């Protein structure tokens, strides 16, 4: 998300130097080639590169002596114990410490555990003192709330801008920096640094809660022979609840929700608190990723060996090419272990999928990545919809019937009407749906 922030800041007339350690990605960016699929990013990147407002490099020594603002946006992935791995963060902090030439502002956009910003400031001041430098350093916590697939739009039209500051000077700087993004009404929300750090985690955990809760209700609805779609409409109409994030499915993935829930659990444990609700959210999500395989296994009475399963959708959500913790990977792994063959398609994530599966040394006869959604259906014993891409919403059922060996559809995102599928001759199973 750092690339999106840099491009959007440059678009507003700021001069932005982006530094990173991956030389291959930096070389791609210098040629205006983005290493990720994000709608709207290519044009902004290209325009600002050519305008000279946006530059890329690997050497921190290229930082101008006039630079006063350092914006940190590095990955803080989950370690095995659930804590945030801050290795890249500390590397960036140490590099920045060697480049500070005057009073400066350090803006942390990375998602970091509560108290990290204070540690950043202490570390920088300690290193400056060793260099015989005694500049004032203001720390700002500025967590981003960008959704993959709409990050550029989210940055340019934010719901709110959370800023944790410790001084009026930092508050004035951030007000000026974000002024172009907050013209219609005041979206800036200033608070304490630790408050801002926790706000990011709490926001993502709340959204994950809604998803896991709705999946729990959908699973219960199946047992009770209730259609979860009617329940969803009924509760979503309540203005206190709303319709956002209450769509049952096969679990969430990505770099944010799983990471942030686990890190919150870890932060609680470090301070002697057992976060029971967060544990339940995480557990339900991991179990939910197995629901599609369970449904297939039930459909074929535990005998999937030799069966061919078409998988529509590999990215963890539509609009992106990211496979990080995607439910599709859990499904495919389980299918291969059961002796099934997989034919898979995704509108955008095929390059990443080929790279991912090539590293697993899977026999090519067991998994085939195709270039068209209907190619995946050839002689398929079942089709599983995992990611709700728009091209999958209104498929040609007649073409599907001609291509598939058995007319079995497992709908992991409740995109299809059960009655319509039944009338077309398909055996249909959704998440909490009844026919």
- Tell me the pLDDT tens digit for each residue of 88-113: 999 999 999 999 999 999 999 999 99
Question: In this predicted structure, what is the pLDDT of residue 185?
Answer: 60
Does the annotation place 13 within a ligand binding site? no
- CA 332 distance to own-chain centroid: 20
pLDDT level of residue 82 (50, 70, 90 thresholds) = confident
Question: In this predicted structure, what is the pLDDT of residue 236?
Answer: 98
The answer to whether the beta carbons of residues 42 and 34 sit under 8 Å apart is yes
Say whether pLDDT at 288 is over 90: yes
289-429 classified as CATH 3.60.21.10 = no
Average pLDDT value over all residues in the chain:
95
How far is it, in rounded angstroms, from Cα 39 to Cα 152?
7
Question: In this predicted structure, what is the pLDDT of residue 419?
Answer: 96
Does the annotation place 345 within a ligand binding site? no
Global pTM reads 0.92
DSSP class per residue in 224-266 = HT--HHHHHHHHHTSTTT-STT----S---SSSHHHHHHHHHH
The residues near 173 (Cβ < 8 Å, ≥ 6 apart) are 69, 105, 138, 140
Does the annotation place 147 within a ligand binding site? yes
Pairing of strands 69-72, 104-108: parallel
The answer to whether the beta carbons of residues 208 and 252 sit under 8 Å apart is yes
Does the annotation place 253 within a ligand binding site? yes
Does the annotation place 2 within a ligand binding site? no
pLDDT level of residue 184 (50, 70, 90 thresholds) = low
pLDDT level of residue 179 (50, 70, 90 thresholds) = very high
Question: In this predicted structure, what is the pLDDT of residue 61?
Answer: 77
Q: Do domains 2-195 and 289-429 have the same CATH topology?
A: yes
Which two structure tokens, joined as six digits, stand for 48?
């600002």
| Residue 364 burial by Cβ neighbours in a 10 Å radius (0-12, 13-18, 19+) | exposed
The 10s digit of each residue's pLDDT in 199-223 is: 999 999 999 999 999 999 999 999 9
Say whether pLDDT at 237 is over 90: yes
Does the annotation place 213 within a ligand binding site? no
Does the annotation place 148 within a ligand binding site? yes
Say whether pLDDT at 243 is over 70: yes
% of the chain beyond a pLDDT of 70: 100
Does the annotation place 200 within a ligand binding site? yes
Does the annotation place 145 within a ligand binding site? yes
How far is it, in rounded angstroms, from Cα 365 to Cα 350?
18
Say whether pLDDT at 435 is over 80: no
Does the annotation place 401 within a ligand binding site? no
Question: In this predicted structure, what is the pLDDT of residue 48?
Answer: 95
Does the annotation place 76 within a ligand binding site? yes
Q: Domain-by-domain residue ranges, the chain?
A: 2-195, 289-429
Say whether pLDDT at 39 is over 80: yes
2-195 classified as CATH 3.40.50.720 = yes
């Amino acid at each position: 998300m750092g690339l999106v922030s840099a491009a959007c800041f440059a678009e507003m007339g700021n001069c932005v130097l982006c530094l990173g350690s991956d030389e291959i990605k930096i070389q791609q960016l210098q040629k205006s080639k983005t290493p990720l699929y994000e709608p709207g990013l290519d044009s902004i990147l290209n325009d600002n590169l050519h305008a000279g407002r946006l530059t890329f490099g690997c050497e921190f020594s290229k930082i101008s002596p006039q630079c006063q603002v350092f914006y940190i946006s590095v990955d803080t992935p989950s370690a095995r114990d659930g804590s945030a791995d801050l290795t890249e963060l500390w590397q960036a902090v140490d590099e920045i410490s060697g480049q500070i030439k005057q009073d400066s502002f350090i803006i942390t956009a990375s998602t970091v555990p509560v108290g990290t910003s204070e540690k950043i400031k202490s570390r920088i001041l300690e290193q400056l003192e060793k260099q015989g430098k005694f500049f004032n350093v203001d720390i700002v916590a500025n967590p981003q709330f960008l959704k993959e697939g709409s990050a550029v739009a989210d940055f340019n039209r934010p719901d709110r801008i959370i800023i944790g500051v410790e001084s009026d000077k930092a508050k004035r700087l951030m007000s000026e920096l974000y002024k172009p993004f907050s013209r219609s009404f005041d979206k800036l929300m200033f608070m304490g640094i630790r408050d801002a750090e926790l706000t990011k985690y709490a926001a993502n955990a709340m959204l994950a809660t809604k998803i896991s809760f709705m999946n729990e209700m959908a699973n219960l609805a199946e047992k009770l022979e209730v259609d979860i779609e009617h329940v969803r409409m009924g509760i979503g109409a309540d203005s206190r609840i709303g319709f956002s994030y209450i769509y049952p499915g096969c679990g969430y993935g990505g770099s944010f929700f799983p990471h942030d829930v686990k890190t919150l659990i870890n932060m609680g444990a470090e301070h002697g608190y057992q976060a029971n609700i967060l544990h339940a959210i995480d557990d339900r999500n991991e179990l939910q990723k197995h629901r599609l395989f369970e449904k297939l296994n039930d459909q074929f009475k535990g005998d999937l060996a030799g069966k061919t399963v078409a998988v529509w959708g590999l990215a963890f959500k539509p609009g992106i090419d990211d496979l990080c913790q995607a439910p599709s990977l859990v499904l495919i792994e389980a299918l291969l272990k059961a002796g099934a063959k997989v034919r898979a398609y995704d509108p955008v994530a095929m390059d990443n999928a080929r790279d991912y599966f090539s590293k697993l040394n899977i026999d090519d006869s067991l998994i085939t990545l195709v270039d068209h959604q209907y190619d995946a259906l050839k002689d398929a014993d079942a089709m599983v919809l995992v990611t709700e891409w728009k091209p999958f919403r209104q498929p040609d059922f007649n073409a599907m019937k001609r291509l598939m060996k058995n007319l079995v559809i497992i709908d992991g995102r409740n995109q299809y009407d059960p009655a319509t599928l039944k009338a077309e001759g398909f055996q249909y199973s959704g998440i909490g749906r009844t026919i």
